[in-house]
């Protein structure tokens, strides 16, 4: 198996078994030892490669243990401190890593709960572990761009200089990505003011910032959706044509005089959620077997999120009702039903259960102009 396949196999095991794991020891046996052996390629039963429960006296601390030490040529290369799966990773609970890092030859330290991994080095000060990781990844949601960096920790590819040299850049890239992610989920006033300053000629009062908050969130999710869809189309072959999206309000060139803030924002209280965008992308992925993906378009409304063929209200494919506190459902349009047929779902992934209906509805529009029986 390739490195990527080994990561995927372990991720599948974690997904299937994580709810059955109740202790730190069980986490080590079920997930962390397989990561060390199957993913990184070290022999966990060879003490010249992996030492469990490494004991050392560090200053006034006597007989402290680190969960695993990965060795090379008799020297400690990587220290690993383990927590129970599901437990938040907090350096305040991993003081051994700091002490051992200064007392051994290790330049790499890993804090993990078997699913999430934080990797540290000493980029800020020699022989002193940094307080912030340079590499952070979740095996259930691995950024594929990080796989080559994770692989550098493996027995086959381990090159300490390469890892340490890349650490500073990786640390700041990771931090910037997390900042962007937080701003996308919950835009701060500073983030919104940046866009106001570039899209709006009036004064960025708090009222204007509040009115732009929904617009920035909506524009961001639409942009991300477009990027995902462009990649999908390129993967299917051919050029990536312009994608039609739901209406994006235009910003006025100048704020009117007077105290009132006049910004024309159609349906400004409508916020397209990440879950709705996920649902749209699932529908589009289903639909590509029948039509080019750019023909699948979404329009958000107050009570539902519509997915249409050719941006035509007379050609509804499905409506997503995902914003209810307790109930989620979708409406499909088979059997020439103008009112639609309701299907209760538990999560957005359940849209795949009506994939055949989605495809038959699209085929009916293409061939007959009206939906046919699924």
Which pLDDT score is estimated for 182? 82
Nearest to 307 by CA among 275, 334, 332, 335: 332
Which pLDDT score is estimated for 113? 95
Which pLDDT score is estimated for 314? 87
Which pLDDT score is estimated for 231? 60
Angle at 94 (CA atoms; ends 48, 27), nearest 5 degrees: 65
Sign of the CA dihedral running 344, 348, 352, 354: positive
Which pLDDT score is estimated for 233? 57
Chain length of the chain: 374
**pLDDT above 90 coverage of the chain, percent:** 28
128: CB partners within 8 A, 6+ apart: 98, 101, 102, 122
- In 10 A of CB 187, how many CB atoms? 21
Which pLDDT score is estimated for 336? 63
Check: pTM over 0.75? Answer yes or no.
Answer: no
Residues of the chain falling short of pLDDT 50: 239-266, 268, 370-374
234: CB partners within 8 A, 6+ apart: 240
Token pair 């046996």 is found at 29
Phi, psi for residue 23 in degrees, rounded to 5: -135, 165
Which pLDDT score is estimated for 256? 37
Question: Would you list the domain boundaries of the chain?
Answer: 3-182, 187-367
CATH domain 3-182 topology? tt1808, chain A (3.90.1570)
Nearest to 304 by CA among 352, 337, 358, 267: 267
Token pair 């039963």 is found at 45
165: CB partners within 8 A, 6+ apart: none
Which pLDDT score is estimated for 237? 52
Phi, psi for residue 305 in degrees, rounded to 5: -120, 110
């Amino acid at each position: 198996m390739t490195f990527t396949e080994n990561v995927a196999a372990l991720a599948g095991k974690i997904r299937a078994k994580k709810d059955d794991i109740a202790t730190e020891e069980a986490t080590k046996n079920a997930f962390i030892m397989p990561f060390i052996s199957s993913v990184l390629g070290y022999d966990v039963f060879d003490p010249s490669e992996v030492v469990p429960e490494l004991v050392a006296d560090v200053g006034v601390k006597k007989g402290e243990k680190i969960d695993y030490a990965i060795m090379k040529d008799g020297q400690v290369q990587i220290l690993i401190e383990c927590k129970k799966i599901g437990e938040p990773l907090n350096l305040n609970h991993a003081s051994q890593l700091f002490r051992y890092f200064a007392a051994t030859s290790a330049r790499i330290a890993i804090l993990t709960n078997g699913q999430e991994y934080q990797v540290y080095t000493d980029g800020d000060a020699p022989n002193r572990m940094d307080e912030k990781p340079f590499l952070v990844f979740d095996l259930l949601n691995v950024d594929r761009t990080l796989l080559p960096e994770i692989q550098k920790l493996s027995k086959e590819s381990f090159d300490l200089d390469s890892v340490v040299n890349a650490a500073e850049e990786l640390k700041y890239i990771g931090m910037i990505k997390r900042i962007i992610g937080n701003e996308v989920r919950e835009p701060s006033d500073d983030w919104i003011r940046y866009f106001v300053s570039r899209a709006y000629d009036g004064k960025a009062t708090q009222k204007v910032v509040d009115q732009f908050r929904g617009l920035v969130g909506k524009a961001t999710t639409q942009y991300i959706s477009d990027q995902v869809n462009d990649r999908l189309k390129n993967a299917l072959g051919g050029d990536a044509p312009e994608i039609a999206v739901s209406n994006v309000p235009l910003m006025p060139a100048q704020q009117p005089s007077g105290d009132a803030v006049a910004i024309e924002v159609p349906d400004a209280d409508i916020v397209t959620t990440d879950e709705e965008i996920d649902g749209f992308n699932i529908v589009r992925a289903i639909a590509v077997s029948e039509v080019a993906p750019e023909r699948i378009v979404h329009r958000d409304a107050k009570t539902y999120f519509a997915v249409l063929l050719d941006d035509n209200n007379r050609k509804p494919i499905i409506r997503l009702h995902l914003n209810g506190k307790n109930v989620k459902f979708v409406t499909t349009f088979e059997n020439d039903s103008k009112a639609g047929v309701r299907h209760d779902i538990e999560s957005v992934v359940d849209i795949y259960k009506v994939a055949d209906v989605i495809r038959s509805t699209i085929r009916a529009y293409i061939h007959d102009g009206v939906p046919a029986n699924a």
